[in-house]
Chain A
């Protein structure tokens, strides 16, 4: 299994590789393991969806990449960003950089940018959107204000804001939710980043607007060629734009596969549960199947599988005693569940 990964790395380096990322939060008398050994890679120009319930650590995972975690968090692991434009960044672990230092600031907003869930609060109500777009253009692209304004106007046009000359001087409260998210996208993409992290970009929007925003992100990806890490709890969003999906549960990635495989051949009981709890249009009679129980708090966890208490396929004596290893089901499909452990052994024996 390890060999296979090594082989893959040697052929072509992925744009972003995250190895054994751990985020822990020191509580009064316990340690909360919010992210517990997450590894994944994103290829240049591709989209990875990170899906999971609230509190599973997906947001902290995405913020770790830009070293934006709150100071209460202790973040360890390795995050390598292989910019094709900046060779100096090769082999540099982002987590080793000073989170307020110059180096990381030259990556933020320029090589990697981010859009957030709530476009109203993510923009400052006190400055015009023009001011807020120009901010990172002036920081990373040009010192010339006129030129920066031209770039900003072009970005606004690109994200579908008409009458951009006038809208440039408007304040965020004068925009609707969908328009604000378009502004956020314009800000994020203003410096042609190689990676865009979208943290629940459509959660706060109406369904019709959601589709528009996703469509916009997709077309901009085709045009600008950036990779996207899409964090969401919405499998519908995943289906729409992702190439690959990583399902997170309780700080761990429990299943990782190309998007069509996740939907057609889900392996992990949790992934199956997620898909079953999704409404399907046109099959009105079918009842939704919720996953029973709630996500436990990741404090003082024993070795057992985090999903054990809610799992319908649990094997007593195995799932609750041993740490669950990652099993490779096929070359690009891995799952963290004992149900498939034997399967692998069978294959190896055969």
Chain B
């Protein structure tokens, strides 16, 4: 098993290197660069940059070199100095920008994910066990509705209701008085209050989807002969339900857990913009708009690495859960 994990881990390295080249290539593809963007901004403020100023700025930032040279320089800094470059927009190192938004992103994402799984799995099981009951129909209706409603629309609706009923649309993650305050119980409570809408908005679609998946998996498992065998042994219905169908139905769900890692770190973008959440999604969006290439590039690379690692984690989880795959690994 350990040999398998090490082997898989070594395979990850070339994949990530390859992905990083593509990422960098894609980032510099749009016409113009940060300097054009900057000059346009200055012009809008009434200050015209001379052609010489523009070339000098380009030279200072190494933007006049071939993109592959720029890539190599970037990689050299990453590998030797753990320096992912400089964010032009924020005028500070990329790592500092990412660090600033990371904690809140993780908080929002993990709570949303916990909400999704905690709500979806029990409802999915119930829906399957009581197939075609009123409860099943209600769960299915809500599920389809949740999948079909665009997140940003739901966000706007919830903000509206919050404003009408409580006089506060609960924008952002903190009220203004706590924004810059040190951490205290008041701040945590304030955060919790502000979390409700984002968690519901971001979580609804995936919850709805997960309910459907869990229900279908359970229906598959409930009718398997091994459940009849368990019943013929005299086990109670509840014990049978937990030990056989539920455990088997969880396999595909747990094994896809790894893939959700990248979305945990990035957070959602459109919803975050609508709700004005200080998390990574909007930062990434701004970086792409403003041709802030190192920030955007680092982001894309980060997501790619997380996806690759997530897949690796999924494979390991699957091997851990499924005895059949475990045997294959032992054999090979």
Residues on A lying within 8 angstroms of B by beta carbon are: 66, 68, 100, 105-110, 113-114, 116, 118, 121-128, 135-136, 139-140, 171, 173-174, 184, 187
Considering the complex, give the chain A residue whose CB is closest to the CB of B326.
A171
The residue on B at minimum CB distance from A190 is B233
Residue B226, interface by CB 8 Å: yes
**In the bound complex, do residue B228 and residue A173 qualify as a contact, i.e. CB atoms below 8 Å apart?**
no
**B8 contacts the other chain (Cβ, under 8 Å)?**
no
Chain A residues lying within 8 Å of B237, measured Cβ to Cβ, are 100
Q: How far is the CA of A140 from the CA of B235 in the complex (A)?
A: 10
- Which of A68, A105, A124, A174 touches B226 (beta carbons < 8 Å)? A124
Given A173-B323, A173-B327, are A109 and B232 neighbors across the interface (CB < 8 Å)? yes
A110 with B324, Cβ < 8 A, contacts A118-B225, A122-B225, A122-B228 known: no
Closest residue of chain A to B228 (Cβ to Cβ) is: A68
Closest to A105 in B: B234
Q: Within 8 Å CB of B323, what residues of A? A: 125-126, 128, 171, 173
- Cβ of B232 and Cβ of A114 under 8 Å apart? yes
Q: Which of A108, A122, A126 contacts B248 (CB 8 A)?
A: A126
Q: Binary interface profile of B, 16-31, with partner A (CB < 8 Å = 1, else 0)?
A: 0000000000000000
Q: Is B165 an interface residue when CB atoms closer than 8 A count as contact?
A: no
Contact yes or no, B228 A140, CB < 8 A? no
| A122 engages B229 (CB within 8 Å) | yes
A-B contact count (CB 8 A): 74
- Chain B residues near A184 (CB-CB < 8 A): 229
In the complex, A66 Cα to B324 Cα: how many Å? Answer: 32
Ranked nearest first, the 7 interchain pairs of A and B with the lowest CB-CB distance are A109-B234, A108-B234, A109-B233, A136-B233, A171-B323, A124-B226, A105-B234
Q: Which residues of B contact A100 (CB under 8 A)?
A: 236-237
A126 and B230 alpha carbons, distance in the complex (Å): 13
Give me 11 other A-B pairs in contact (C-beta within 8 A), A118-B225, A136-B233 excluded.
Answer: A105-B234, A105-B235, A108-B231, A122-B225, A126-B247, A126-B248, A126-B322, A126-B323, A139-B233, A184-B229, A187-B229
A136 touches B228 (CB 8 A): no
Residues of B within 8 A of A121 (CB): 224-226
Q: B224 touching A113 by the CB < 8 A rule?
A: no
Task: Evaluate contact between A171 and B233: CB separation under 8 angstroms.
Answer: no
Instruction: Please give the distance in Å from B245's CB to the nearest CB on chain A.
Output: 10
Nearest-CB residue, chain B, relative to A187: B233
**Per-position binary interface string of chain B over residues 207-229, scored 1 when its CB falls under 8 Å from any chain A CB and 0 otherwise:** 00000000000000000111011
CB distance from A113 to the nearest CB of B (A): 6
On chain B, the residues within 8 Å of A135 by CB distance are: 230, 233, 235
CA distance A109 to B224 in the complex (A): 18
In this complex, what residue of B is CB-closest to A140? B234
Does B160 reach chain A (CB closer than 8 Å)?
no
A-side contacts of B248, CB under 8 Å: 124-126
Given A121-B224, A173-B323, A173-B324, answer yes or no on A66-B232 (Cβ-Cβ < 8 Å). yes
- Residues of B within 8 Å of A124, CB to CB, are 226, 229-230, 244, 248
Q: Tell me if B244 and A108 are in contact (CB < 8 A).
A: no
Contact yes or no, A105 B232, CB < 8 A: no
- Choose among B224, B233, B251, B324 the residue that contacts A108 (Cβ–Cβ < 8 A): B233
Closest chain B residue to A63, Cβ basis: B228
From B232, B244, B251, give the contact of A113 (CB < 8 A).
B232
- Tell me, in angstroms, the Cα distance from A174 to B247 when the chains sit together: 20
Asked whether A171 lies within 8 Å of B327 as measured between CB atoms, the reply is: yes
Which residues in A have their C-beta under 8 angstroms from that of B225?
Answer: 116, 118, 121-122
Instruction: Determine which of A106, A108, A125 lies in contact with B232 in the assembled complex, contact meaning CB atoms within 8 Å.
Output: A108
Inter-chain contacts of A118 with B (CB < 8 A): 225
Q: Is A110 in contact with B234, judged by CB distance below 8 angstroms?
A: yes
Q: Which of A68, A105, A125, A128 contacts B236 (CB 8 A)?
A: A105
